[in-house]
Structure 1
Amino acid sequence: MTNPDDWADAQETESVSVDGNELEMAYYDEGEGDPVVLLHGIPTWSFLWRDVADALSDERRVIVPDMVGYGNSSMRDEFDRSIRAQEQAVADLLDGLGLDTVSFVGHDLGGGVGLRYAVHRPDAVDRLVLSNAVAYDAWPVEPIVNLGLPSTAKEKSVGDVQELLDGMFRESLASDDPSDEFVEGMKAPWNSEEGVVSLVRNAAATNTNHTTEIDPSEVTADTLLLWGADDEFQPISSAERLDGDIESSRVVGIDGANHWVVEDSPDRYTEELRQFLLAEEAE
């Protein structure tokens, strides 16, 4: 599914609670079998996973949420968008869907959510995949810090933010000629005044304390650290540190892939992911 409008049309919504705030969480839900959750980061949305979701849905039930404040989930002000809050929202979504146990795949900020979820709910995670994930104190990175300044929402127009995001995505993809489908699709949720304010709030909510308070050695799920090896934002050394702390884990670095590893190397990424998830069924 290559069109963000078609992806949005295929999404469902569920009410979730974050600190007593009732919010709408949009999610894509396709396929049958053991459930796997795919969670995006910042400044992306569930459309990031379009090709991976399609490839996995023949064998698994694939659930792809938009974090609150992102994509087609609630964007209004007056709620927390931090990793802690996103963990709470995802947990409420999965509880509402009646899913006791899932495999959890997280990229970037979504990886930080997955790490917290796996530590706090060890019996609820079969397998954990972290890809170029935020962890420890290696974030937030400078472009996100700048994006979260209150002056960004007050002084920059929608067009300014679209131009900023265009450069951010194009410069951090491995290809010299990146896909317009990806870049335009990732920018789509932020192409309004409401979207700009929500994106700034999301960036401002990045909080190092929400990863430094987590001890990765408490992860009990088999873990794959599936990483774009050329990432400058979340370098592979972070994956290697996680590998040293998580008892049952291994690192797979994908050469030639930058931070957006899902887009930079979709075939290799999907195949490594499939093999890891299906190995569970062979045991």
Structure 2
Amino acid sequence: MFNMLVGLPVGGLLSKDRLMEGTSTHIKYRLNVANGDFTELLKLPTLALPEVGPQGSSDVATVGTLSRITPSGTSYMLEFTPNANIDPIPVNELLANQNAFDVADAWGFHRTRLMVKDIDLYRTLLEIRHSSEVVRPSRNYLKFPDGPIDDNLVVVMMPFGSEFQPVWEAIQQAVYDAGLQCERADSIWDEDSIMDDIVGLLWRARIVITDYTSHNANVFYETGIAHTLGRKCIPLTQLADEIPFDLQHLRTLKYETTDIGLNKLKLALGQRLRNILRTN
């Protein structure tokens, strides 16, 4: 087990009703804190971090121990001692792996409180640090942002020509029917450079849909970025011979632009999206 101290990265005053908030009842019972006995609680390792929302943060979390918990009016004074032998952890790494810490809510790190999680903190941190899912890409050529993945975001990379408008509409409908949000680079304008917007979308995306039709070089480049970031990708094409050799080993949804063909695309794409949501 470990303490997760949110909103007090160096310790401080915590309202009494926030102590053990979000902690399972059986853990409270095991730790026997009901009568103000914090002996067992103080034995646990502690992960301390500032409040942070799902948009991410450049702050860090610290591993250490709670050295003292003393009453102070309607609050407790928590004294936190960091472990100098453990490097600070970027908060964005915690956000990107929040399920590993049993924090399911996107705003789970946004409320000041002390929770106890029935998880081996050191083992979890070690696994995250060695996991290939934590990507630290070079920023020499591309402006990768900070922040976590948006679990509801599907990004589409495809040619922008007017002849692809019915395809885009079919894709949007399939994504919305799956209960997800759909964006394409031409639907946003956050940065001065369109490439920065594209990279930002790929960084935040949970799923990336790429259309290989017409051998669009930009789409292939963006597909490579998505693969490097480890995003779940769903490739589409109108013609099988438009798939480059290096991508032919990946299953691709082939579609036609007739009304019937686009309806079939919506059904097949919707099924693929739901499969990803069930298994990831």
Question: Which band: TM-score by shorter chain?
Answer: 0.3 to 0.5
When you count helix as a share of all residues, which structure comes out higher?
1
Higher strand share: 2
What TM-score comes out, normalization by structure 1 length? 0.34
TM-score of the aligned structures, taking structure 2 as reference length:
0.35
Compare CA radii of gyration and give the structure with the larger one. Answer: 2
Higher relative contact order, chain-length normalized (CA < 8 Å, sep 6+): 1
